[in-house]
Chain A
Amino acid sequence: MKLRKLAKMAIENRIEHSFVIKGKDFGNAGNVSTKIKDLLKEIGIPPSIIRRVAIATYEAEMNVVMYANHGTLNFALTPQKIEIVVDDRGPGIEDIELAMQEGYSTATEEMREMGFGAGMGLPNIKKNSDEFEITSEVNKGTKLRIVIYLDSKNE
């Protein structure tokens, strides 16, 4: 990272980074969430917060890998909160309410054989966030906004 960018982040009390997630790339799936977890550990964020961020980012990352063609994950840390925005280009979700239901999944047989498709990803993201928004457009893509407060008691 450029020194000037780092200095700017320090002054603004804001650390941010953008990650690319490739669709169908199961070989690298999980790397983005692990990088974010390692970063938070290094900064000294409490384990209970890291745990929730790890669950939310992993599930969001995997949904991009499984269902979309391409996505970006934007991560921002301020003294108050962690904000994660995941934006993908892909099939989108027709019925968001249905997709949010625990157990609902359109995972293929092949994905289920790998252990995906419990229909728990989106509900787990929601459970672990303090703020959660999902918007989607069919044949365009899906966007998630996840906020986790650093002082939150939410378990």
Chain B
Amino acid sequence: MKLKEIVEKLNLTIIAGKEKLENEVTGGYASDLLSDVIANSKEGNLWLTLQTHQNIIAVATLKELAGIVIVNNREPDEETVRKAEQEKIPLLGSKLTAFELAGKLYELGIKG
């Protein structure tokens, strides 16, 4: 499924990287530990996290993730937004918790 479709269906806010919403989402990963995401996420995953610091963009770039959703209505740092634009990483926001959002993604057919 394209990221764009997920953004629409789950009402995600687009914070940065809107030119990459055509990215194909292969699955999802939810974690707030960067080493865990580096070790276990896969290319094309949509990453759900509470983290708002700019290092999340470096992780998503290296792992070629489809995008990042910052959950719980948290706001990313300014440098994070700037870096997401620069690296063309879709940075999205949701009011939902990681648990709720993962459930909804599962319902859409986006699995591990």
Q: Are A120's CB and B39's CB within 8 A?
A: yes
B38–A116 touching, CB < 8 Å: no
Q: Does residue A124 face the partner (Cβ distance < 8 Å to B)?
A: yes
B interface, over-half SS: helix
Of B34, B54, B79, chain A has the most CB atoms within 10 Å of the CB of: B34
B59 within 8 A of A: yes
Known interface pairs A34-B61, A58-B62. Does A115 touch B32 (Cβ–Cβ under 8 Å)? yes
Judging by beta carbons under 8 Å apart, are B61 and A124 in contact? no
Residue A79 CB within 8 A of the other chain: no
Could you tell me which residues of chain A, from 101 to 155, have a CB within 8 Å of some CB in chain B? 113-116, 118, 120-121, 124
Contact partners of B59 in chain A: CB under 8 A: 30, 58
Contact present for B35 and A33 (CB under 8 Å): no
On A, residues with C-beta under 8 Å from B are: 26-27, 29-31, 33-34, 37, 47, 54-55, 58-59, 62, 113-116, 118, 120-121, 124
